[in-house]
A and B are shown apart, each in its own frame.
Chain A
Amino acid sequence: MAIKFAALVLGLLAISIFAKDVTSVLSILLFAILSFTLIGTNAKQIFSMLWSLKLVVLLVLLPQLLFMDWSLALVNVTRLVACILFAMLFTSTTRNQEILELVELLAKPLKALGIRPNTIALLVAMALNSIALLNKFVADIREAQLARGMKPKLHLLVLPVLVLSLKHADDHAEALLARGVEV
């Protein structure tokens, strides 16, 4: 796992430093996409994965188009997308538990500062877990607002989501204590 992670980091560095023309970045992007097919990802899933990056692409591409040559902007954005795809490939072929063990390993130097590496790994695990939970909170609140005849709006979601999250954090902390977790 550590070797796989080191390969990812070195690979991303190499892409960032050496891939400087349109042909090479497009080849790398194609290689990243083909790598996904090797792990059984179908064309539809690959397209939806790429589509999910649209906002990032726009945010990075638009300012660059204003201030630099379009081909350079294209190279930068393609390079970024390729790097993201490789990172996604790493996470989708690595069990969360292994990622957490890696986080724990990387956080070992923090022990000198009095920070427990397993606490950092636990925080990462909980953050991963919270994404789905936050989605559920948002869906529940939207439903509750619709049921009361309100039109769900983003600013009306913020406070209830925050309150629910804080309540969940309290309950979750208690559950962790009950499972013998020390932080």
Chain B
Amino acid sequence: MGSITLKDVEVQFDGKTVLAIDDLSLTANTIAVIGANGSGKSTFARLLNGLAKPSTGQVLVNEIDVVTEPKRAVSQAGFIFSNPDVQIVMPTLIEDVEFSLRSVGLSKAEQNAQAMAALDAVGLKHLADAPAQSLSSGQKQLLAIAAITVRKPSLVIADEPTALLDLGNAKQIAQLLLSPVADQVVLVTHDMKLAGLCEVAVHFDQGRLVSVGAPKDVIARYEKMFA
């Protein structure tokens, strides 16, 4: 079971506080993060693997401090962006997934076998040698998931992973992420149906934590704000 703990965290950009969390502890397997644009959800997600640094306070993921131990923090957390194009590094699918395993210390044959298994898990094995840029957006997002999960991270953070996808692809990505693909999955989303499938939901508004709890209640409160 994974754990995320934030204590007295404040994130500032250009002297302006964009996120402030006094105390938050999350141990659920699947966590939805909801809120309006600019509410601080993405900043919260990026804090969890060190892409954003807190100006003050402490962020612990599985008891690892993301500020003092950035390498461990990155290695235990996989991050999936909403635009899959930015995540592709290598020209073909198999090479892109193998790229994630370069520093793990496996033989080439082991890297290839694990990468193939990861592609198989997302249904892209038959396209292993195809050019990654020739894929559809949904397939690219599946490739990103394979490239992240092949390292078996304990935490997977997905920042609006279904934002650019059609209904079918979005459903497939959601099912895959919530299977769940790691001990803990954090989903930043505007899709309330998807948020409702998580065990816990966290709602941010104007950089403040508004509520944490059962998705049904948290979503109802969020939707009330726009009623």
**A interface residues with partner B (beta carbon < 8 Å):** 95-97, 118, 122, 125-126, 128-129, 132-133, 136, 168, 171-172, 174-181
The interface bits of chain B over 27-66 (1 if a CB of A lies within 8 angstroms of the residue's CB, else 0) are 0000000000000000000000101000000000000000
Q: A132-B91, A178-B49 are in contact. List 18 more A-B contacts (CB 8 A).
A: A95-B92, A125-B91, A125-B99, A126-B89, A129-B132, A132-B133, A168-B85, A171-B86, A174-B51, A174-B81, A177-B51, A178-B78, A178-B79, A179-B79, A179-B87, A179-B100, A180-B75, A181-B89
Q: Are A129 and B86 in contact (CB under 8 A)?
A: no
Residue of B nearest to A101 (CB): B108
A179 touches B133 (CB 8 A): no
Q: Which of A128, A132, A175 contacts B87 (CB 8 A)?
A: A175
- Is the beta-carbon distance between A180 and B131 smaller than 8 angstroms? no
B10 at interface by CB-CB < 8 Å:
no
Give the residue of B74, B131, B134 whose beta carbon is less than 8 angstroms from that of A178. B74
What residues on A are CB-neighbors of B100 within 8 Å? Answer: 179
- Which of B51, B95, B132 is A95 in contact with, Cβ under 8 Å? B95
User: Chain A at the B interface: mostly helix, strand, loop or mixed?
Assistant: helix
The answer to whether B91 touches A172 (Cβ under 8 A) is: no
Cα distance, A97 to B97, chains bound together (Å) = 11
**Chain B residues at the A interface, C-beta cutoff of 8 Å:** 49, 51, 71, 74-75, 78-79, 81, 83, 85-92, 95, 98-100, 102-103, 131-134, 147-148
B79 proximity list for chain A (CB < 8 A): 175, 178-179
Q: Which residues on B sit within 8 Å (CB–CB) of A129?
A: 88-91, 132-133
Would you call B51 and A178 a contact (CB within 8 A)?
A: yes
- Cα distance A168–B87 in the bound complex, in angstroms: 10
A179 touches B75 (CB 8 A): no
Q: Given that A175-B81, A178-B79 are contacting pairs, would A96 and B95 also be in contact in the complex, using a CB cutoff of 8 Å?
A: yes
Question: Is B90 touching A177 in the complex (CB atoms < 8 A)?
Answer: no
Q: Are A180 and B74 in contact (CB under 8 A)?
A: yes
Which residues of chain A are near B98, meaning CB under 8 Å? 97
A176 touching B89, Cβ below 8 Å: yes
Q: Which residues does chain B contribute within 8 Å of A125, judged by CB atoms?
A: 89-91, 99
Q: B92's closest neighbor in chain A, by CB?
A: A96
Residues of B within 8 A of A177 (CB): 51, 74
Inter-chain contacts of B49 with A (CB < 8 A): 178
Shortest CB distance B76–A (Å): 10
With A and B bound together, what is the CA distance between A174 and B89 in angstroms? Answer: 12
Residues from chain B with Cβ under 8 Å of A176 in the complex? 89
Considering the chains assembled together, what is the distance between the CA atoms of A129 and B135 in angstroms? 13
Bound-state Cα–Cα, A127 to B71, Å: 26
Q: Give the contacting residue for B103; candidates A96, A132, A172, A180; CB below 8 A.
A: A180
In the bound complex, residues from chain A placing their C-beta under 8 Å from that of B131 are 132
Distance A97 CA – B132 CA, assembled complex (angstroms): 14
A14 CB to nearest chain B CB (Å): 30
Give min CB distance, A49 to chain B, whole Å.
17
Pick 13 A–B contacts, CB within 8 A, sort by A: A97-B95, A118-B102, A122-B89, A125-B91, A129-B90, A132-B131, A168-B86, A171-B86, A176-B89, A177-B51, A179-B79, A179-B148, A181-B89
